Every structure is written in C-alpha cells, then in structure tokens.
Amino acid sequence: MGIFDKIKGAIWGQAKAAEAAPAPTTTAATANPEPSMTPAPSATVAATSPATSAPAAPVDIASILDAAVRKNGQKLDWKHSIVDLMKALGMDASLPERKELAQELGYTGDAGDSARMNMFLHKALLQKLADNGGKVPADLLN
C-alpha cells in the first residue's frame, strides 16, 4: 500500500466512522422484539438501506481534516502544509515518506528542494483526493 492509499484510507475511514456513529441510534430506535411485528425487520432493512448508499456521496475533506486537527491537539495548518496534513492523520511526515509520496504523485523536480516538493505534494495530493471522490474546497485546488 502506497502513501497516497494510506492517506486516502485514513480520510475515508474517518468519514465512514462519522457516518456509522448515528446509525446505532436509528437501529436501536427501530428494533422491536415483538413477534407480531414480523414486517418490521424488512422495514428496518429498508430504512437502513439509504445509509448504505451514503458512501457514494463525496467525502468532505475539509471537515474530516479539521476534525483530525482538533483531535490531534496540536496547532496544525493542513490547508497549507503537507507535513501538517499528514500529522493530522497520525501519519509519519518524515522526508523519506514525503519523497515516496512525491514519486507516487509524479513529482519530477529536485527532491532535495523540500520546500518546492512540499508545495507540489500539497497541491497534487488535494487534487488526487478530489479526483477520487473527495470534496475539496475550490480555493485549495487552484
């Protein structure tokens, strides 16, 4: 699994966890052990089916990363820093990791110029997240 896949998995995993959190409340409210209510289980399944199709909706990258920053407790600026974005997700943001990500994302510049590489990585990563179903604020894609 590549670095991009780890980043995407962390973001999409947090999105699924956020979706799953309200589901038990709905399920508990609709569960009825009464035997005379045999149609109820199929109604419950039908009621939960739309929630299953919810992952087709775009994943709100900004809200996921904002929540990850709050959970992390550090002052991180994921909107401008690839290092902070990776740290917010609990990932290794070391130079070797970023160089590997740069290879995955097609960086052709000098990997020794970490400032330029980091700017490329941030923009390319957000674009690739958008290309893979992420909803990224337009001002971060320009």
The per-residue pLDDT for range 79-104, each reduced to its tens digit, is 999 999 999 999 999 999 999 999 99
User: With 50 as the cut, is the pLDDT of residue 38 above it?
Assistant: no
Q: Is the pLDDT score of 46 beyond 70?
A: no
Is 52 inside any structural domain?
Answer: no
Q: Has residue 44 been placed in a domain?
A: no
Residue 11 falls inside a structural domain: yes
Give me the number of domains the chain comprises. 1
pLDDT of residue 21: 62
Q: Is residue 111 assigned to a domain?
A: yes
Instruction: In whole angstroms, give the CA distance from residue 36 to residue 75.
Output: 56
| pTM assigned to the model | 0.73
- 70 within a domain of the structure (yes/no): yes
User: Is residue 117 assigned to a domain?
Assistant: yes
Its domain, for residue 118, covers 3-19+59-141
The count of other CB atoms within 10 Å of the CB of residue 68 is 19
Question: 89 in a domain, yes or no?
Answer: yes
